[in-house]
Structures are given as C-alpha cells and as structure tokens.
Structure 1
C-alpha cells in the first residue's frame, strides 16, 4: 500500500515527461504527434507545451516523494490529462499518433485516480 501511491504517481510522471523531447524542435514534435510544424509561432507554442509537461512531470515525481504535494499534483495531473481527452474527443478526426497520446492519457488518468483513491481512502486499499 505504501508503494502504490508513489508508483502510480511515477507512472503518470513518466507519461507526462515523454513530450518534453518536443522542446528540441519541430522534428521531435513531428515524431511525437505525427504532424509537421512549419510555422514558427506554432513551433514556439508547442515547445512551450513540452516545457509545461516537464513541469507537470516533475510535480508528479515530487508528489511521489513528498506527500504534502499530492493534492496539487492530483489536481494538476488530472486537469492535464482529462482536458486533452475532452478536447480530442470533442474535435475528433485525430491521427494515429494523437490516438496513442489519448491511450497514454487514459493510462495516466487511471494511475492518478488510483493514487488519489488510495491517498484519500487508504482503508479500501490496505491488504490487512
């Protein structure tokens, strides 16, 4: 039980850290999302997005190690993943690469919800 919450947070963190490579440029973003980013303003926005995912990932790692950070990490992480899922579903017609991002975000959502439940209702997750 004591390892469940940190493990779920670390998995969610790793999912959030994958897009950080996008900060290295358009070719990395194209690999991640299956779209070419030729317009400089869009490149700036997407690279900034990559940095923000790094911040979320680091927050989730910190929360795995420091329980006081968990409430903030749960909220930030769940807003991050569920907002992407809602936007993608509402727009639709996304490519295969974004479909994989959706699967990763569904996995991160499951990890975060499991950690949240274990943190707030530990008696339901204990094996004793």
Structure 2
C-alpha cells in the first residue's frame, strides 16, 4: 500500500492522508517544475496524517495540468531539494482541447480493435 492516499480535490484544496507513524517532513506542492506552496499535515489518528494543499486558481487552464506532492527536509520557502520523495500526483484536465484528444484516442483504439479482429479471424480460418 502506498504511504499517500489521495482524497481528491474539493473547493480548490487537494486533500489526502499519509499512513505512517512519524510526522512527515516538509510537503511541497510543485507544478511545471516550480514550487507553488507548502502543504500542511495534521495528525488525524494514530499513524494517519491529513494533508491539505491549496491549488492556486491562476495555475488552472485548458489542457492537462499535473501537480506533484513532494516530501523533503528543506526549509520553508525554498525550492524542493534534489532527491525529494514523490508522494502523489493530481492531474486535472479541462477545456475544449480535451474533446479533440478523446476523439483521436477513440479513433486509434477503434482502428487497433479492427486490426485485432481481422487477425483473429485470419487465425481462426487458417487450417494449420
């Protein structure tokens, strides 16, 4: 089981739970290689830490956006340290660009399925 369990995005706050006895180190929210903010971890129960990270509205736009939650031992306000542990990721997809991507992906899947059906029929008909 992964240490971090994402609880999803609600009202612009990405929430999750870290399952471990020790308090997590500094939790950093990263988008497109830059530090956005630091998430806060609150003791919820024995071995459970509730994590909350605010997603800035100015970082949301059409297309695919990925946000990473990293853990390191750096000081507040510093960029993530090299070798920071990757705890989780949140991917958001929005806008008109999505429709074209999905249609193209479906068309590709349909053509691959047709090819597979043709090959299965050929193998079934082969008297070998």
Is the radius of gyration larger for structure 1 or structure 2? Answer: 2
User: Higher helix fraction: Structure 1 or Structure 2?
Assistant: 1
Report which structure shows greater RCO (CA 8 Å, sep ≥6). 1
User: Higher strand fraction: Structure 1 or Structure 2?
Assistant: 2
